[in-house]
Structure 1
Amino acid sequence: MNIMNSYSLTTNLVHAGEENICEGAVCTPIFQSSTYLTQENEKEYHDGRYIRLNNTPNQISLAKKLACIEKGELACLFPSGMSAISMTMLTLLKEKDTIVAQKCLYGATLKLMKYEFPKLGIHTKFIDIDMPNTWGDSVNSSAKVLYIEAITNPLLEVVDFQKIVYFAKENGLITIIDNTFATPINFNPIELGFDLVIHSCSKYMSGHMDIVAGCVIGKKELVEKIIQKTNYMGSCLDPNVCFLLMRSMPTLELRVKMQNINALRLAQFLENHSSVKRVIYPGLVSHPNHQQAKQYFSGYGGMLCFELKSTTKTSVQEFLTLLRIPLLAPSLGGIKTLITRPALTSHVMLPLEKEKLDITLEMIRVSVGIESIDDLIKDFDNALSTAVP
């Protein structure tokens, strides 16, 4: 048993994966070497130390830390979140297999499941998370995995996780959850019985909008299979990126807790503003899944969506350009507040799906940062008052 498992999340964020001090360095240095001397105990291909085999010092340290904070047995690193999703699926599925997934997902994930995997003979059946009595209709002998997001992108839906896990176990499905939006600070899916947890580490885990990375964490027997498949497919994380992500992890809890506070206050302000039509945030009582979010999460996250009462393209665009603190850019989870329109970014390649999901052109998504919330509210108020008088 890893000794770090006996410590709190706060301590593990700082120390896990760095128990073996190298040359007296208090931080794990960058090991800028692609290959390493052969050791006597190397018996198999995957034992040789080589960056592509995901077993060099920076990779090992980072994987240990990620597994520890998500309370998983093992972690595998990837050069992006989408790489983590695709390689996990390609490991666990074969031709004629079926994925069971919720309807609302990140645009690229939805595109992958609906249009790319069918080319390989892998199909997806989509379920409505709010209608558990219909989930059984999606399961047959070809169904192998159940895939959901802890908080969906961009509609911020929250499923009843215990029902999902029970349903999956009853039907022999491997459960996979993307925990990017919730983070291990607010939610630990493995404690509820999920088999695998995926993160786009480019987002909250890194928090500084300067790297792209991903990971999958969970049961050793599953992650080992994913690692072997990944090694053959050539996906690996560079030591420099490992170092930058490792450096960001100790402040994850501090950042996310501040983002929880800021997002809730901004959501409450927007909900009461006369120029705002609707606000979507799990921490609001008005959110349809608020009770589930309250039950499972220790914080409601840093993401929110809203729509203006004025539906003209001019007013939406004018509002966005009037803001001074938020940056008009895609992605999320960083220390700086980012604002975007999902219909034109994350879901732009899915015209039919975004219409069915009610992802409108007027919908605005905010990734709330760690700036002063008073400054943010003042900025939003000024922009709203001018663009939507």
Structure 2
Amino acid sequence: MGRVRKHESYTNSILTPIYQNIAYFYDDHETYVKALHEGSLTKGRYGRYHNPNWEEVEGILAQLDKAEDCLLFPSGMSAIYSTLMAFAKSQSCFATTCYLYKNTRRVFENLEKLGFKTLILDNSDLSELMRTLDQVSQDINILFLELPSNPHLYLADIEKIKELLEPDTLLVVDSTFASPYNFQPCLWGADLVIHSCTKYLNGHADVVRGSVAGKKEAIAQIRNFRNINGVIPSPRDVFTLGQHLKTFQLRMESLNASGQKLTEFLNSHDLVSKVYYLGLDSHPHRELSKKYFTNGYGGVVTFELKLSKRETSEFIDNLKIPYIASNFGSAETYIEQLAPFTYYYLSDQDRKSLNITDSLIRLSIGFNDPVDSIIEDLDCSLARYIPTEIH
């Protein structure tokens, strides 16, 4: 005899179990068909469309971003690409800025290859950015901003930008470098906000995930794209992300405090020529950070040394605490010499145009590493390059 159909819809577990299943059943044909035709399905339909783990964590992320709804994706890049393609039409014009993550820049290059029009705007000079947007705003269908930008942590005045855009132009903000603890773009006019949940939100360097949050109508269109293309996250990884979100505020409080303290040390060091951190008055977009950021400025600090390319590499090699690796927002501290490590594929001229110098470094503080120990480590390694008479 075959197994008799049986179902227990819930348990008394405090944690939502991991729902690894694909199929969902209904008690009778009429209930299912009626709900499907009326668009009122309250339970799962199929594993590519619904999952209780997704819905739970998406609800948490929507609250953090002060958004109406949210969708999870396998990575931050899949969230970006799916969002843009969900709204793509013939003759669509996508605009972004020149200072942003290298692979996001490649997405826009691919959009151009597909026949879409793309505009790349300079956001280092905010006045010029506003003038340019005023001239081209009628042509733009989607404006994508990375705020803060990688690695210089540049901002833009999204409240004023939203006023310049046409009512039907979509304003999308990648706020991975801020996290929703520090910055909520939806409160300032953004239609959609994207995160690489891999970074601050997850915080443990063990899960790759992405999210997009915003208005229900826009999220519904992206959901339809996700349903068709199957760009869905693993329930097990989403469960892990949900567990790590329980310590999100504590981790961000620690990283914000450590970032500010480390920045002040670097800013006062004789061998440091420039520091990019939104908590410093010397940052070109400091006034905007005061306007938009609520709790702090994160654990990523970018700085430039008065050293050659070779000396900068030696300085990093002599450090004891940071890993030479690409990531941020986790328990470990990471460090990168950006020109040879991240922007190696660009010509010298292209790197110069993006303000990527040979001695530019991105340091990402780990919340398990005491900031005083990181400062001591940096100070000891820098001391090798201070002339004897200065000691």
Could you state the TM-score of these two structures normalised by the residue count of structure 1?
0.89
Report the Cα offset of residue 335 of structure 1: 2.1
Structure 1 residues 68, 212: CA separation in 2 closer, same or farther (over 3 Å shift)?
same
Does residue 1:201 correspond to 2:194, yes or no?
no
Other structure's SS at 1:324 match: coil
**Structure 1 counterpart of 2:65:** 70
**Structure 2 counterpart of 1:243:** 239
Structure 1 residues 103, 171: CA separation in 2 closer, same or farther (over 3 Å shift)?
farther
Q: Of 298, 307, 311, which aligns to 1:310?
A: 307
Other structure's SS at 1:384 match: helix
**Distance in 1, Cα, partners of 2:338 & 2:317:** 16
Asked if 1 retains the 8 angstrom alpha-carbon contact of 2:275 and 2:304, the reply is: yes
**Structure 1 counterpart of 2:4:** none
Structure 1 residues 78, 353: CA separation in 2 closer, same or farther (over 3 Å shift)?
farther
Does residue 1:43 correspond to 2:43, yes or no?
no
**Structure 1 counterpart of 2:383:** 385
Letter in 2 for 1:66: L
Structure 1 residues 84, 125: CA separation in 2 closer, same or farther (over 3 Å shift)?
same
CA deviation string 1:201-228 (max 9, x = no partner): 0000100011100010001111011011
Report the Cα offset of residue 383 of structure 1: 1.0
Asked if 2 retains the 8 angstrom alpha-carbon contact of 1:108 and 1:346, the reply is: no
CA deviation string 1:5-61 (max 9, x = no partner): xxxxxxxxxxxxxxxx941111122112222224633516996533322x1111111
Report the Cα offset of residue 379 of structure 1: 0.8
Structure 1 residues 123, 354: CA separation in 2 closer, same or farther (over 3 Å shift)?
farther
**Structure 1 counterpart of 2:362:** 365
Q: Of 74, 77, 81, which aligns to 2:76?
A: 81
- What count of residue pairs does the alignment treat as equivalent? 364
**Structure 2 counterpart of 1:137:** 135
Q: Of 117, 121, 136, which aligns to 1:123?
A: 117
Deviates more, 1:235-244 or 1:325-334: 325-334
Does residue 1:278 correspond to 2:277, yes or no?
no
Letter in 1 for 2:212: V
* Structure 1 gaps, min length 5: 1-20
Asked if 2 retains the 8 angstrom alpha-carbon contact of 1:316 and 1:387, the reply is: no
**Distance in 2, Cα, partners of 1:91 & 1:65:** 23
Could you state the TM-score of these two structures normalised by the residue count of structure 2?
0.88
Asked if 2 retains the 8 angstrom alpha-carbon contact of 1:98 and 1:145, the reply is: yes
**Structure 2 counterpart of 1:29:** 17
Report the Cα offset of residue 230 of structure 1: 1.0
Asked if 2 retains the 8 angstrom alpha-carbon contact of 1:107 and 1:349, the reply is: no
Does residue 1:301 correspond to 2:295, yes or no?
no
Letter in 1 for 2:332: K
Asked if 2 retains the 8 angstrom alpha-carbon contact of 1:87 and 1:226, the reply is: yes
Letter in 1 for 2:312: V
Asked if 2 retains the 8 angstrom alpha-carbon contact of 1:63 and 1:74, the reply is: yes
Other structure's SS at 1:77 match: strand
Letter in 1 for 2:307: S
Structure 1 residues 203, 237: CA separation in 2 closer, same or farther (over 3 Å shift)?
same
Report the Cα offset of residue 128 of structure 1: 2.7
Larger radius of gyration: 2
Letter in 2 for 1:29: P
Asked if 2 retains the 8 angstrom alpha-carbon contact of 1:139 and 1:171, the reply is: no
Structure 1 residues 317, 233: CA separation in 2 closer, same or farther (over 3 Å shift)?
same
| CA-atom RMSD in angstroms | 1.9
Q: Of 99, 102, 116, which aligns to 1:104?
A: 99
Structure 1 residues 199, 275: CA separation in 2 closer, same or farther (over 3 Å shift)?
same
Percent identical pairs in the alignment equals: 36
Structure 1 residues 303, 58: CA separation in 2 closer, same or farther (over 3 Å shift)?
same
